Structure 1
Amino acid sequence: MKYRVATASLNLRDFPATDHNSKILTQIPFRHTVKLIDKTTTDWWKVKLLNGDKEGFVLSKDIEALDESNIKSTDIEVPNFEPSSKSRLDSKEETYKPISDPSIPFRDLTSLESKLSSIRGIIDALDVSRSFRYEKDAADTYCNIYTFDYCFFAKVYIPRLRWTDKAIEELEKGNEVAVVFGDTVRPFYSNYIYDWFLQSAKEFGWQRIDNVDELQNKVNANGGVGIICAKRFILNKSGHIVVVVPETDTEKAYRKDGKVIYPLQSQAGADNYNYFSEIRKDWWDNKDPEKGYSSAIFYYHE
């Protein structure tokens, strides 16, 4: 039987925490799915992650049963890979995996000030304007990779991968499918991420927002994560996704008559910016049939 994480994040331990030698193996994000192996004790259950062979113990009160009978193919979660030492800021190797770099901070959820300061630390450490990982090349730009990395360190979930058709066929039969890049899973590009937000993001704690003024204000007031995602008219061209970030003493959104017109954003793309607002104006509202976007959505995560 499968369960989903019901808290902001959940520690996977090698032994129940009542054991003095228990250590944390990894943190499982909100709404991620695990497979139950054994109800070892009332408080501690043994589970297996779906992105590999890692097993451990979690608090039973922090997971909830998953009704698999109601899941459609679009809802079948792709668990992200665990961080890899090959996934680095100075390389384009294994960009489909989270970065394993202890110098990059995670968002500290302790208080508003700790959230704001740690978000600034994430942006400074990822340094999208200079990191080779996000540099455009002849084939691609990397807005989705930067947004995924930012969200990973901000402790909120967006997908980096999606199942291939053959994998979905096996999953719908009730079979387990190993996560193998290029075989059972493939990259989740921004046009598809747009669809994921509309179809599934609410299940992972995301809230749709009506306008950029409200989005910027919520990000500022709560130290949360904002997203602008735009879908192309021409679907075989890349859409775009950026993060909306809290304003700082020196980096500001652009306002007119006290209302945010261009929020403070951070992006990889044709041009990479640690922070920007007015320079790209309302890029998401570009209605050029060749270069523009058919629609855009705004989302917020606490």
Structure 2
Amino acid sequence: AALAPQPRARGRARAAMPGGAALPALPPAVLHDEFSAASRARPEGRIHPLAEADRPARRARASAARAAELQAILDWLDVTNPVHRRYRPLDGRGVALAYVADCADLAGVYLPHVWWTDTALRRLTLGDAVDPVLGQTVHEIGINALHDWLDDHGPAFGWVRELDPTLLQAAANAGEVCVIVARHRDIDQAGQVSLVVPEQPGAEALRRADGEVLRPLESMAGRRGVRAAVSRNAWWTGRRFQSFAFWRHP
């Protein structure tokens, strides 16, 4: 029988340069090319950041204000709106990562939909300047790769690993960007990723009598988008997944 997925990091650290010198910080990989006009209504260009002029942002410092701004971002993305074809599956390709990456980007948080190639990473660690060019210096990543990226690079970009769903929900309620990501056992099959979102009156996490969160309030894109709901089960513990993790970004 397959083992249940384990909530633990892979823990690979970046190797030091010869002589013990510190590696230069890696820059985010972000595409800005012919799809610089990517919008919620267009299914093309999902790996490019949204460029609509009226897009909201998260700039406040106080927790309550940050939560309100994060909620405004979620309302604007409006994942269940059929007009927003960016979050509708196209040719069998998943859209869950596009939605999560869009929310993170609008909140001022880096979560990649493309990442540097091995050759580009070697150049960057040598201090070279590298432009992100799809198919040359960057490549699209899926959710399985995102799971691994968060382990390997997430902390360098401000992501914090969380083990307790109660604390994860509390972080979302304070306006932090929070995700659940699971890696599929079959590398050729898609993993899954969702946002944990601020609770609202009538939309709350599932808790035990003592207040501990059993399942947080989630939002995700897919064939049936979810604006804010509690999953019927803890999907991330499903046997099809090899491992899962909770992450938050202040």
Q: Is the pair's TM-score, using the shorter chain for normalization, greater than 0.5?
A: yes
Residue 212 of structure 1: aligned partner: 165
Letter of the aligned partner of 2:175 in structure 1? G
Residue 121 of structure 1: aligned partner: 72
Residue 273 of structure 1: aligned partner: 226
Residue 129 of structure 2: aligned partner: 176
Kindly indicate whether structure 1 or structure 2 has the higher relative contact order, using CA contacts under 8 Å at least 6 residues apart.
2
Residue 100 of structure 2: aligned partner: 147
Residue 80 of structure 1: aligned partner: 30
**Aligned-partner SS, 2:102:** helix
Pairing partner for 2:191 from 239, 246, 253: 239
Q: Deviations over 1:164-198 (max 9, x none)?
A: 24434544565433211122211121111111111
Q: Deviations over 1:26-79 (max 9, x none)?
A: xxxxxxxxxxxxxxxxxxxxxxxxxxxxxxxxxxxxxxxxxx94339xx74443
Letter of the aligned partner of 1:103 in structure 2? D
Q: 2:44 aligned with 1:96, yes or no?
A: no
Distance 1:171 1:154, change over 3 A: closer
Distance 1:85 1:167, change over 3 A: closer
**Aligned-partner SS, 1:70:** coil
Distance 1:175 1:119, change over 3 A: closer
Residue 24 of structure 1: aligned partner: none
Q: 2:235 aligned with 1:293, yes or no?
A: no
Q: Which runs of 5+ in 2 are unaligned?
A: 1-19
Letter of the aligned partner of 2:204 in structure 1? K
Letter of the aligned partner of 1:115 in structure 2? R
Mean Cα displacement is larger for which, 104-113 or 261-270? Answer: 104-113
Q: Which runs of 5+ in 1 are unaligned?
A: 1-67
Residue 154 of structure 2: aligned partner: 201
Q: 2:180 aligned with 1:228, yes or no?
A: yes
Distance 1:101 1:228, change over 3 A: same
Rg: which structure is higher?
1
Letter of the aligned partner of 1:159 in structure 2? P
Letter of the aligned partner of 2:196 in structure 1? V
Scaled by the length of structure 1, what TM-score is found?
Answer: 0.69
In 2, distance between residues paired with 1:120 and 1:168? 35
**Does the 8 A contact of 1:266 with 1:276 survive in 2?**
yes
Letter of the aligned partner of 1:80 in structure 2? V
Letter of the aligned partner of 1:297 in structure 2? A
Q: What CA RMSD, in Å, does the superposition of the two structures yield over aligned residues?
A: 2.2
Distance 1:133 1:176, change over 3 A: same
Letter of the aligned partner of 2:200 in structure 1? T
Distance 1:250 1:79, change over 3 A: same
**Aligned-partner SS, 2:153:** helix
* C-alpha displacement of 1:160: 2.1
* C-alpha displacement of 1:82: 4.8
